[in-house]
Amino acid sequence: MKTILEAKNIVKYFGSDESKTYALKGVNLTAYYGEVLYIVGPSGSGKTTLLSIISGILRPNEGTVTVKDKNIWQMKDDDLADFRLNHIGFVFQDYHLFPKLTTTENVSIPLFLKRQNWDKSLKEAKYYLEVMGLGSKADLPVYKLSGGEQQRVAIARAVVSKPDILIFDEPTASLDGETGRQIIAFVKEHLLTQERTIIIVTHDSRIFEFANRILHMEDGKLKQTTDNGNHLDAQKCDIKLEAEAQ
Ligand SMILES: Nc1ncnc2c1ncn2[C@@H]1O[C@H](COP(=O)(O)OP(=O)(O)OP(=O)(O)O)[C@@H](O)[C@H]1O
């Protein structure tokens, strides 16, 4: 298995002196191409902090994060921002969409940020909305969509720039059980490729079956790894699917 991301000895604390809280106490994590990796654990165990650090959002106090052989926390801020735009797609728990913009405009945002041509960006955004089954909602403002539909818009926005790492923070937390399962099944079937890894933080045991590996966190440390097997069951056909959007 080929490594896409490696975090070594990650330590993160908040506050100082008596008010110092250790969120992560020396965490090691490796993610491989072509797998769905879950990070699970009780509330306050450090999952979101770890996710923020490996995705280049939050700087650790100690340790290194290497993505595609690059030490991301040694990069200058501008270079890290560019690296994130090109390689990491993040789906936030509460979606972080712009409610009054159309679904197409929301999905286009990463491409606009990359200064890609406006019309080409909208065309590619529409393609990914089709992939996510939202072609008929392309021109609607986001506030008119259901929770599950908004989640799919957020996923389309995260994949539009073809990231190697797709990261989800509690993707099913605001959805009913069946919608949550359908979305994760869809993501695994259509968006996992052998050139990508998908990392999901979740409390939701109803979606555990979609993981290849599950990392269990407790009190700022990784306690245990469960291997569900089926590594590299990424779908080759989906690489073709994405290439068509170019
Ligand atoms: N910005 C912050 N300032 C101070 N403490 C923080 C901050 N962010 C996180 N913490 C603390 O770090 C610890 C880990 O928090 P984190 O949000 O990573 O846990 P979590 O496992 O994602 O929890 P949950 O499942 O409830 O979202 C907690 O004790 C939390 O209170």
Residue 19 counted as domain residue: no
11: exposed, middle or buried (Cβ count in 10 Å: 0-12, 13-18, 19+): middle
The predicted pLDDT at position 231 comes to 55
- pLDDT over threshold 80, residue 244: no
Residue 243 counted as domain residue: no
Distance from Cα 46 to the centre of ligand 1, integer Å = 6
- pLDDT over threshold 90, residue 139: yes
CA-nearest residue for atom 10, ligand 1, is: 23
- Beta-sheet pairing, 88-91 with 165-169: parallel
- Can you read off the two tokens belonging to residue 178? 């069946």
CA-nearest residue for atom 26, ligand 1, is: 43
pLDDT tens track for 26-62: 999 999 999 999 999 999 999 999 999 999 999 999 9
Q: What gap in Å lies between CA 19 and CA 121, rounded to an integer?
A: 46
Confidence of residue 213 (pLDDT cuts 50, 70, 90): very high
Q: What is the CA radius of gyration of the chain?
A: 18
Residue 18 counted as domain residue: no
Q: Give percent above pLDDT 90 in the chain.
A: 67
The best mutation among 12, 25, 38, 47 to test binding of ligand 1, ranked by most ligand atoms within 8 Å of the C-beta, falls on: 47
pLDDT tens track for 4-20: 999 999 999 999 988 99
The predicted pLDDT at position 236 comes to 41
Residue 6 counted as domain residue: no
Which residues are 6's β-sheet partners? 30, 66
Provide the CA 168 distance to its chain's centre, in angstroms: 4
| HEC string for the chain | CCEEEEEEEEEEEECCHHHCEEEEEEEEEEEECCCEEEEECCCCCCHHHHHHHHCCCCCCCEEEEEECCEEHHHCCHHHHHHHHHHHEEEECCCCCCCCCCEHHHHHHHHHHHCCCCHHHHHHHHHHHHHHCCCHHHCCCEHHHCCHHHHHHHHHHHHHCCCCCEEEEECCCCCCCHHHHHHHHHHHHHHHCCCCCEEEEECCCHHHHHHCCEEEEEECCEEEEEEECCCCCCCCCHHHHHHHCCC
pLDDT tens track for 56-102: 999 999 999 999 999 999 999 999 999 999 999 999 888 899 999 99
**Residue range(s) defining the domain that contains residue 157:** 36-45+76-227
pLDDT tens track for 140-197: 999 999 988 999 999 999 999 889 999 999 988 878 888 888 889 888 888 899 999 9
CATH assignment at residue 40: 3.40.50.300
Which residues are 32's β-sheet partners? 3
Residue 25 counted as domain residue: no
Distance from Cα 20 to the centre of ligand 1, integer Å = 12
- Beta-sheet pairing, 197-201 with 36-40: parallel
CA-nearest residue for atom 3, ligand 1, is: 14
CA-nearest residue for atom 28, ligand 1, is: 44
Residue 62 counted as domain residue: no
CA-nearest residue for atom 31, ligand 1, is: 44
User: Residues enclosing ligand 1, CB less than 6 A?
Assistant: 14, 21, 23, 41, 43-49
Q: What gap in Å lies between CA 18 and CA 83, rounded to an integer?
A: 36
Residue 232 counted as domain residue: no
Report the number of distinct structural domains present in the chain: 1
Ligand 1 atom nearest the C-alpha of 45 is 21
Distance from Cα 202 to the centre of ligand 1, integer Å = 14
Residue 89 counted as domain residue: yes
Ligand 1 atom nearest the C-alpha of 220 is 14
- Can you read off the two tokens belonging to residue 31? 């993610």
Which residues are 215's β-sheet partners? 39, 225
